[in-house]
Amino acid sequence: MQNLILNDNIMLKPDLNLKKRLLKLFDNQYGVVVQVYDEIVHCIGMPNVKIGEIIIVQDHIAKRAYKGLVINISWNTVSCIFFTDTRTILPGMRTRRSSWPVSINLNSQTVGNIVDCLGYQLRNTVKVNNDSKNATIRLERPAPGITLRAPIFQPLHTGSILVDSLFPIGRGQRELILGDRQTGKTSIAINAIRTQKYDNLLKFFNKNLYCFYVAIGQKKSNITKLFYFLKKTDSLFYTSIVAASASEPASLQFLAPYAGCALAEYFRDRGHDTLVIYDDLSKQAVAYRQISLLLKRPPGREAYPGDIFYLHARLLERAAKMSQTFKGGSLTALPIVETLVGDISSYIPTNVISITDGQIFLDSVVFNKHYKPAVNIELSVSRVGSKAQLRFYRKISKKFKDALLKYYLQADQINLSDNKGEADNVVILGQRLYIIITHKNLMCIELQFFLMYLALSGYLNNYTLDQCNKIIKKLNLKYGENFDININFFKNIKF
């Protein structure tokens, strides 16, 4: 073996162990599949692989490569979950490390489209091209530290006067929406997306609030209907849908919330306001439980693994309002959790309640009384409170809340008292407030303020309940999106 000459003045002696070291490094990057069952692939080799890393299985016969995620490492095997059907992966196939964590690609077509957590556009199944204008975003990132955050002070309007006045949501907040099946949980979240188009505060600063709806374990037909509904209402130019349907593997349902959060963080770090809706996290927990039981991890309460709390905590802690030093963006999280027969003391609801900054509880009993949204006022709370309201809206919403709670809690006691005049006033005002808060259509924040002022000033007391309902409907049809009204409006209403 000849000496290695770098230039005229420097000469290196040959390294006899260089070939052995290269072979050892080569062997550290490769492994072999030894067992495949139930979407879990067990491999040997790759001693330096890390949890959360992407590995590649090459099928030379079908000339196809399969990507998987390392989910568990034991003393002699590496367990992986794959994003496609694992029945074509056979023992003896060779695996290779990629040294890259799981990530999602983003380009200009992501917003306004349906994508999955791997970067595929599901409308035409064309993968997002990885050119210089695209961005590759890691799904798992640490949450921003306390020094990077700022206090929450900007409101995120939902279009529901009940939520915006009693349980306001701020930009950067985590507000849980929970309730039984078919009680209107998704409707509140979708209305929050649609309302951003009518927000005059965003129009004044010429900004968009980017929304990301994460559909976990839902039917593909429902996801398609939602897509065309948002397209029909012209709400798709600032909205993206991250889908992991019920027919997808459990690995995709497990990773979908992190993909939606990663897309939102991309815009948040560039100074934009974002909203992420996780619909719903209970199905993600079921998918993770399935993976953990197949990995033979010890089950705990309700057969969930011991790290199920960390699964949701590391996701929801990434919601934040950033300080102006870091461009002042925000990420608001609206997780949705399904309950069984109104039991909010079960495992997953109590976990997410302890993580979030408040919850909106939708009660089936209230829903059956035809009150929509069916919000249980006694069990719902927003821990940010009036700090997330505009100044002109904050004062009147406090009076609105006091009058409504007085009708809820003290109407029966007043009816038993001797002061019948006060009882009649409370009942008359409460009935009109009920008409306002149970109105189904969206309302801009200015119209909400105007309706609360009409009710609290006693103007609506001069009309019957049917007449009040007609007034509110007329107002909403004409001024629900853009509020510009004069006093002659009431003279033109025919009862």
Least confident of 115-129, 145-159, 307-321, 331-345: 115-129
Looking at 1.20.120.530, 3.40.50.1980, 2.40.30.20, 2.40.50.100, the CATH number of the domain 28-101 comes to: 2.40.30.20
Mean pLDDT rounded to a whole number for the chain: 84
pLDDT over 70 at 404, yes or no: yes
Tell me the sheet residues that pair with 97: 55
- Residue 252 — very low, low, confident or very high, per pLDDT cuts 50/70/90? very high
Can you give the pLDDT at residue 10?
A: 37
pLDDT at residue number 180: 93
Q: How much is the pLDDT for 210?
A: 93
pLDDT category at 484 given cuts 50, 70, 90 is: low
Q: pLDDT at position 176, please?
A: 96
Q: What is the mean pLDDT of residues 87-107?
A: 87
Between 16 and 1, where is the model more confident?
16
User: At residue 3, does pLDDT exceed 80?
Assistant: no
Per-residue pLDDT tens for 450-475? 888 888 888 888 888 888 888 888 88
Mean per-residue pLDDT, 307-322: 94
**What pLDDT was estimated at residue 11?**
38
339 pLDDT tier (thresholds 50, 70, 90): very high
Domain ranges across the chain: 28-101, 105-389, 393-492
The percent of residues above 70 in pLDDT, for the chain, comes to 86
The catalytic residue positions are 383
121-158 per-position pLDDT tens digit: 876 543 444 333 578 889 999 999 999 999 999 899 99
Asked whether the predicted pLDDT for residue 353 surpasses 90, the reply is yes
What is the rounded average pLDDT of the residues 487-491? 49
Question: Which of the pair, 226 or 487, is modelled with greater confidence?
Answer: 226
Closest to 382 measured CA to CA, from 397, 360, 402, 403:
360
Look at 218-227, 248-257, 424-433 and tell me which has the smallest mean pLDDT.
424-433
pLDDT, tens only, 177-226: 999 998 989 999 999 999 998 887 777 667 779 999 999 999 999 999 99
The domain over range 105-389 is classified in CATH as 3.30.750.24 = no
Name the pLDDT band for 116 (thresholds 50, 70, 90). Answer: confident
What's the pLDDT band for 14 if we cut at 50, 70, 90? very low
The pLDDT value recorded for residue 192 is 93
Q: What is the share, in percent, of the chain residues with pLDDT greater than 90? A: 40
Mean pLDDT in residue range 217-236: 92
